[in-house]
C-alpha cells in the first residue's frame, strides 16, 4: 500500500452479549424454544461461569454468566424475514412461558420475546 492510500476500516456484524443466570433455563429458552444451536462453550474451570456462543441462520448471540459482561434487561433488535413463519414455529412449541404474537409498529412487524433473565429479543420485519 502506498503512502497516499489508506485502508478502509470495515466491520462485521455485531454480536450481542446477553446476561444469563441459569444454564438450564438459558438452554431451554434459546436452544429448545428459539431454535439456536451451540457454536461454543467456555468455562475457565468446571465450577466457574459459562460463556456460551449460539447461532441460528446467520444470527449470533453470546450468553454469559459472568457478572461483568452484561446487565440483565437488555434489548436486541433483529431484522428478520418471514416473521409469520417464526411466530408459527414458536407458538407450535407451546413453551410454557411465552406465546409471542406480531405487533404492527411504525417501522414494521415486531415479534418480541423475553428470556428468563429479563432480556428482550425483538424480531422485526420491515
Q: Is the pTM of this model over 0.85?
A: yes
Domains and CATH numbers, the chain: 17-125 (3.10.180.10)
* Residue that has been written with the C-alpha cell 434489548 in this structure: 75
Return averaged pLDDT per consecutive 10 residues of the chain, 126 residues in all: 78 96 97 98 96 98 96 96 98 94 97 98 97
Let me know: does 61 contact 43? Beta carbons within 8 Å.
no
**DSSP codes, 102-118:** EEEETTEEEEEEE-TTS
* Residue that has been written with the C-alpha cell 436452544 in this structure: 31
Amino acid at each position: 500500500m502506498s503512502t497516499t492510500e489508506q485502508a478502509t476500516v470495515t466491520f462485521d456484524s455485531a454480536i450481542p452479549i446477553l446476561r444469563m443466570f441459569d444454564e438450564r433455563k438459558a438452554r431451554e429458552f434459546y436452544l429448545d424454544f428459539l431454535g439456536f444451536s451451540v457454536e461454543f462453550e467456555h468455562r475457565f474451570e468446571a465450577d466457574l461461569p459459562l460463556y456460551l456462543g449460539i447461532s441460528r441462520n446467520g444470527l449470533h448471540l453470546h450468553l454469559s454468566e459472568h457478572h461483568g459482561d452484561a446487565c440483565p434487561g437488555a434489548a436486541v433488535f433483529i431484522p428478520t424475514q418471514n416473521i409469520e413463519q417464526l411466530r408459527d414455529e414458536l407458538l407450535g412449541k407451546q413453551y410454557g412461558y411465552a406465546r409471542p404474537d406480531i405487533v404492527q409498529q411504525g417501522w414494521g412487524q415486531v415479534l418480541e420475546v423475553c428470556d428468563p433473565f429479563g432480556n428482550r429479543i425483538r424480531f422485526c420485519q420491515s
